[in-house]
Amino acid sequence: MIGTGIFLKPSEMATEAGSVTIVFAAWIAGGLLSLFGALSFAELGAALPEAGGQYAYLRRGLGPVWGFLFGWMHSMVGESSSAASIAAGLARFLSFLLPAIAAPIFSWHLSNPITGRPYDFIFTWAQPAAAATIVIFTAINYLGVRLGGRVQVALTLLKIGAVLAIIATAFWLGHGSAEHFHPLWPSTGAVGAFGGFFAALAAALWAYDGWEDLNRVGSEVEKPQRNIPLALVGGTLFVAAIYLLFTAACFYALPFAAVAGSAHVASDVVQTFAGRGAAFWITLAMIASALGTLNSSILSGARVPYAMGRDGLFFRVTATVHPKFRTPGGALIFQGVLAGLMALTGTFEELTSLFVFAAWIFYALSVVAMFRLRRIAPDLERPYRTWGYPVVPALFVAGALALTFNIWIERPVRSSIGLAMILSGLVFYRYWREKAPSEELPSNS
């Protein structure tokens, strides 16, 4: 769960929320929503410990077409926007060390067709830098799983150490002020506060993303009725506490307006109390963290289009395996091209919003599948049953739908393109279903 988001998202959340209270409310709500989703996914993972995760749950609970649409979304939008987001965050870190990376090349002035708010698309050297990073790490994983795995092990622990170091030193060595925790309430009224809260929540959920991974080991947990809730509650509270403390450290060190206006808030916070030299080294640690997260994303993300292509459910090129390196070369290149194109067309904030929009549609659908499985498969063995059922999963579905609708309102063009890309999968599904033998690709009947 702890990755690039916590180093950058407090600034975006402050900008969207307009007040300290709304920022902290968004962190708390994001933690609760993630916890409710994880509790629901734990039941699915324990009951259906199958490869593919959400693909298996949707296929079993709602029908094959829904499982296919998840795989299509993951391959066409989800994983590519995730990798592009991480690479864009990496480029943002680099811009603190090399300000020329943030220099604009050209810009387009646009407006939101729904809200009428102005929008400027600014193309900087950060976009090509992000795309180049994706190419490099795609090549690393193309050359072998062992090499990619060694890179991942070498980079993993730095991200947690960097977060804890910033929190501890900001309060211990910093010369901040409690007066920086202002304004407490937004000046935009109830409607503006509501919209700001959901925009800040979308930003927070990028930082929280990762809770869904628990379903991969749900069937292997001893005493699942006891240990899964303990792990989920304890883990989510731990991460939420770190995020709240980190945000408090940012507001303690810098005025609210400075946090909202910072392009690299973590580095700026360290610079206020420890100087440029310390900020340089902590930024290097954050860059290493982003590299590890990007490598992990590319390493695992290509396996979904590879598996679908192998089963005749995706483009045939993604099913190819390199004869020497034994890696899913076709899927890696396919994923790398999509991610690179996305990195060239959006900022860190825009790309993370696209990922949250696409992913949370299917998080909600997966929990709907859990409801349906309770009805159509009552005898299915469930080592763990969702705590608070049906209220907790129902709240999760409602929150996920409200979140995705708000993202569409705030960023209608990019969200509509993402939704169109997801729905276009229906055309390909029909084509591949008719082309493949019925025993290999069952219909949605």
- The residues with which 122 forms a beta bridge, in sequence order, are 107
Top pLDDT among 338 and 314 is at 338
pLDDT at 444 over 70: no
Please check whether residue 445 lies inside any domain of the structure. Answer: no
Element (H, E) at 90: helix 79-97
In the predicted model, what is the mean pLDDT of residues 102-126? 77
Give residue-wise pLDDT tens across range 132-156.
Answer: 999 999 998 888 756 555 665 666 6
**Strongest mean pLDDT among 63-72, 184-193, 432-441:** 63-72
CATH of residue 90 = 1.20.1740.10
Please check whether residue 440 lies inside any domain of the structure. Answer: no
Residue whose structure tokens are 């940012």 = 250
pLDDT at residue 439, as a whole number:
41
Could you list the residue range(s) of the whole structural domain that residue 395 is in?
Answer: 5-435
**Strongest mean pLDDT among 190-194, 203-207, 429-433:** 203-207
pLDDT at 218 over 70: no
Of 52-56, 71-75, 218-222, 375-379, the range with the lowest mean pLDDT is: 218-222
Please check whether residue 106 lies inside any domain of the structure. Answer: yes
Backbone phi and psi for residue 271, each to the nearest 5 degrees, phi listed first: -65, -30
pLDDT at residue 441, as a whole number:
45
Element (H, E) at 208: helix 189-208
Q: What is the CA radius of gyration of the chain?
A: 22
Q: Which long-range contacts (CB under 8 A, 24 or more apart) does 115-118 make?
A: 115/409, 115/410
Please check whether residue 19 lies inside any domain of the structure. Answer: yes
**How does the average pLDDT of the chain come out, rounded?**
85
Peptide bond into 183 cis (omega under 30): yes
pLDDT at residue 197, as a whole number:
92
C-alpha span between 88 and 104 (Å, rounded)? 15
Half-sphere exposure in the Cβ direction for 49 (13 Å, CA): 12
Cα dihedral 438/440/444/445 (nearest 10): 50
Please give the share of the chain, as a percent, with pLDDT higher than 90. 41
**Structural domain tally of the chain?**
1
Give residue-wise pLDDT tens across range 327-344.
Answer: 888 999 999 999 999 999
